[in-house]
Amino acid sequence: MSTGTSLHSSPKQSRKSKKKQLLKQETQRWIPVQTCSHPVTSQSKTVWKVQLPSASSDHEYSSIGTHRFANKVEETVQNHMAYSIQEEGGGANWQLVAEEGAMKVYRREVEENGIVLDPLKATHAVKGVTGHEVCHYFWDTAVRLDWETTVENFHVVEKLSDNAVIVYQTHKTVWPVAQRDVLFLSVIRMIPPRNESEPDTWIVCNISVEHDDVPLTNRCVRAKLNVAMICQTLVSPPEGDKEISRDNISCRVSYVANVNPGGWFPASILRPVAKREYPKFLKRFSSYVQEKTAGKPIVF
């Protein structure tokens, strides 16, 4: 595989030859290099955008799927793509509740019938990792307990496809409220770019479902959720013909969580806990992905 082109080479000619090579390589999992594409003017300065070897439309994780929840998944994914990737909390009524470096956490206070349903959104930038890598570790149940500290235990109820599973998990009790459990479909998807100037988008959706093998129990209150981790990879071209490294990449993260606790959970407890725990989760999980990928080939 060839290294990236010089910023001073002919962009038009380079783009054609490189595009042919990338089309042959785009289905490979490990892609450690990039090619320089075209300049884009942003306000008063010109920035060189990198043409990523994007996953093709027939990528195994880009299809809608054929399992019984496929339509529900597709509707959820499209809704998140349309409404969740917004800047500065998504508009009016969002309160900035935590900020640290590139990370910002927003909340919108909502209550129905005395139940706190506050939607939450966070934006973050994680250096040295790709969107694919972040979503992989968020979705992969084999490593969940490595970074998830609020879960007491969990198990996979059913594997629907290579990128979709149904998971049951119980959460640690927050005194004095009853313990919560959740039953949800977890799917990882790649959304191809709409044009060559856009990066691929990776998304993990966790949405509540029902399953005959996991009925309601008197021991826990069943919470409902609709959570999404949406990631895009940003690349700064390396100098000259150097191969791209993790110093040249970062991941733009949008995280949204809509959780219905399913019953009594006083706002005086829930809101301070959420304000404290969501930023801690994002920092802990981001560091975990950076540690797991350090020194390894880059997965786009």
Residue-averaged pLDDT of the chain: 80
Query: pLDDT (tens digit, 9 = 90+) per residue, 23-57?
Result: 333 333 333 233 333 333 333 232 333 333 344 44
What band does 290 get if pLDDT is binned at 50, 70 and 90?
A: very high
Alpha-carbon torsion (168, 173, 174, 178), positive or negative: positive
Q: Which residue has the tokens 């968020």?
A: 138
Amino acid at 243: E
What band does 15 get if pLDDT is binned at 50, 70 and 90?
A: very low
Q: pTM of the entire structure?
A: 0.79
Name the more confident of 257 and 53.
Answer: 257
Whether the bond between 193 and the residue before it is cis, its omega within 30 degrees of 0, is no
3-state secondary structure of 143: helix
Query: pLDDT (tens digit, 9 = 90+) per residue, 166-220?
Result: 999 999 998 889 999 999 999 999 998 888 878 889 999 999 999 999 999 999 9
Hey, which residues does 192 pair with through a beta bridge? none
d(CA 290, CA 124): 14
Query: pLDDT (tens digit, 9 = 90+) per residue, 204-217?
Result: 999 999 999 999 99
Hey, which residues does 121 pair with through a beta bridge? 106, 256
Phi, psi of 222 (to 5 degrees): -80, 115
Alpha-carbon torsion (90, 96, 99, 105), positive or negative: negative
Query: pLDDT (tens digit, 9 = 90+) per residue, 90-121?
Result: 566 789 999 999 999 999 999 988 899 999 99
> How many other CB atoms sit within 10 Å of the CB of residue 187?
27
Q: Tell me which DSSP letter residue 89 carries.
A: G
Mean pLDDT value of segment 248-272? 93
Give the helix ranges, DSSP H, for the chain.
Answer: 11-25, 70-83, 131-139, 144-147, 267-293
Residue 297 CB burial class (10 angstroms; 0-12, 13-18, ≥19)? exposed
Per the CB < 8 A criterion, the answer to whether 97 and 106 are in contact is yes
